[in-house]
Amino acid sequence: MQRREFLRFCAGGSAGAVLSLTGVSIATTAAAEPLRLRIQKARYTINGAVTQDMVSLSQDQPPPVLRMKQHEPFVVHVTNDLEDYTAMHWHGIRVPNKMDGVPYLTQWPIARKETWRYAFTPEDAGTYWYHPHCMTMEQMARGLTGVLIVEERESVGFDTETIVNLRDFRLGEDSQFIKFFSPRMAARSGTLGTVMTANWKQNPVYEHQTGALVRLRLVATDVTRIYKLFATGEHGKVIAIDGHPVRDTVAWPTDVAPHIMGPGQRIELAIKMPDREGAEVVITHQSGQAPRPLVTLRSVGAPLKRNLKDLHTLPANPVPEPDLKSAEVVEFVFGWTPQSMKPNNGYCGSLGYTFWSIDRKPWPGDAADGTKPLAELKLGRSYILRLRNESPNAHPIHLHGLTFRPIRSNQRNLPSNWTDTALLLKNETIDIALVASNPGDWAFHCHVIEHQKTGLAGFIRVS
């Protein structure tokens, strides 16, 4: 697509300028102090040596945790210091469509030295994250994935918290990047990283006062890995999944029944630190060979006499409840594609292959002309989206701009909390329910980036 055509397509938007702010008043956003982020090359010591050619928001640190307050305007200016184009997406936040950061669908890619202004008011508190939606594989694999916290209006009663960005890096013996994917694995479960990290470190230890109440926020920002998480050393409570408070009691994850969390998903645990100084709680990944410790919490100092019962319940977020009686069912099927084609991703990078599809049509590319929505939903109506995986591989299916909840699976009992990402296991069908409450063209894709970038992507229109 040419720049001229794109501008027409965007109905008056222009590169580097402020687009119309649906649902956000200019007056309120202008009053907020803008945050300035600069996407740039970085280096960091991973696995004993300095990894070069990373991508972050400073030259020597992981992307920072962004904090904002529920119902308060947030403004950020994102500047691109890379050679490649970029665009920033706020995963799980119900933003106005123009603020969603999806190139060609909601904005023009951000060129080198350009700045793009994003402004939105988060409606929902919880744990979310941010990442580029252009040159996605290249920039995410090099490090550009960060945690975004929307704080509740009132304290829930924790003494302290630990925020953990879980992800792999694909590094060789010398700690330098190796090829991000292989076509063979892209056509299957995806290519795993070689070094598992938490906040870019291997099994970091965070100290908390003995017996304290800790809010532990775990965020899976990896491009491929499906985590199977459990905690050793102490019991606690699952309080939120994918940003939103749990609606029913979710079992504490154990080594035999770990919490399965795909790329893009999050879990929040309330943990009471062990009453004995020096005792540890270890968040562990259950893998085929040996369980892998990811992050450790250690009790230090004089014991606080705290109890999980001291915590307030997390307040529910104001997500509209779908009317299941009147909801129309819309079906989608996710699987391989019989069609081989070269996708047109414009300035946003192609892996050069097509392996996957939605409704048996591979995504023709971010910048392809005449792409049509997979479905058109009427603003304000309730829908059940039937998501059917006809492949043997798992797909974390992410819908932008709208929040939904699973209502049934053909394989298992799912927690019914609100979410933005449904992890479809092998041959699983999950029905999700939502109100089409946010107008716009919303990206709808697998969050295994190799799957997304080789066809398993599309968009849903709400109008």
Neighbours of 7 (CB within 10 A): 14
Please name the helix (run of DSSP H) or strand (run of DSSP E) that holds residue 422, with its range, or none: strand 421-424
To Cu ion, the closest distance from the beta carbon of 391 in angstroms equals 8
Beta strand 74-80 pairing with 405-409: unpaired
DSSP 159: S
Count of chain residues binding Cu ion (CB under 5 A): 4
The verdict on 451 binding Cu ion (CB under 5 A) reads yes
Kindly list the distances between the CA atom of residue 334 and the CA atoms of 31, 136, 147, 368, in Å, as whole numbers in the listed order.
44, 21, 28, 20
Place of tokens 């304000």: 380
The verdict on 448 binding Cu ion (CB under 5 A) reads yes
By C-beta, is 32 or 260 nearer to Cu ion?
A: 260
Quick check: 438 and 352 in contact, CB under 8 A? no
CA distance linking residue 200 with residue 47, whole number of Å: 10
By C-beta, is 198 or 374 nearer to Cu ion?
A: 374
Per CB under 5 A, the segment of 45-53, 324-332, 426-434, 439-447 that binds Cu ion is: 439-447
Provide CB contacts within 8 A for 283, sequence distance 6+.
164, 198, 216, 218, 229, 230, 231, 293, 294, 295, 296, 297
Using DSSP's 3-state secondary structure scheme, residue 402 falls into coil
By C-beta, is 147 or 394 nearer to Cu ion?
A: 394
198-217: contacts with Cu ion (CB under 5 A): none
The verdict on 266 binding Cu ion (CB under 5 A) reads no
DSSP 224: S
Out of 395, 398, 400, 453, point to the residue binding Cu ion (CB under 5 A): 395
To Cu ion, the closest distance from the beta carbon of 265 in angstroms equals 13
Residues counted in the chain: 463
Out of 216, 267, 424, 446, point to the residue binding Cu ion (CB under 5 A): 446
What's the half-sphere exposure (Cβ side, CA atoms, 13 Å) at 157?
Answer: 14
Per CB under 5 A, the segment of 110-118, 210-218, 259-267, 440-448 that binds Cu ion is: 440-448
Per CB under 5 A, the segment of 51-59, 242-250, 403-411, 448-456 that binds Cu ion is: 448-456
Beta strand 356-358 pairing with 328-336: antiparallel
CA distance linking residue 56 with residue 62, whole number of Å: 6
To Cu ion, the closest distance from the beta carbon of 329 in angstroms equals 23
By C-beta, is 108 or 404 nearer to Cu ion?
A: 404
The verdict on 445 binding Cu ion (CB under 5 A) reads no
To Cu ion, the closest distance from the beta carbon of 448 in angstroms equals 4
Q: Is the dihedral of CA 185, 139, 105, 242 positive or negative?
A: positive
Per CB under 5 A, the segment of 21-29, 181-189, 299-307, 444-452 that binds Cu ion is: 444-452
By C-beta, is 215 or 451 nearer to Cu ion?
A: 451
To Cu ion, the closest distance from the beta carbon of 290 in angstroms equals 27
The residues binding Cu ion (CB under 5 A) are 395, 446, 448, 451
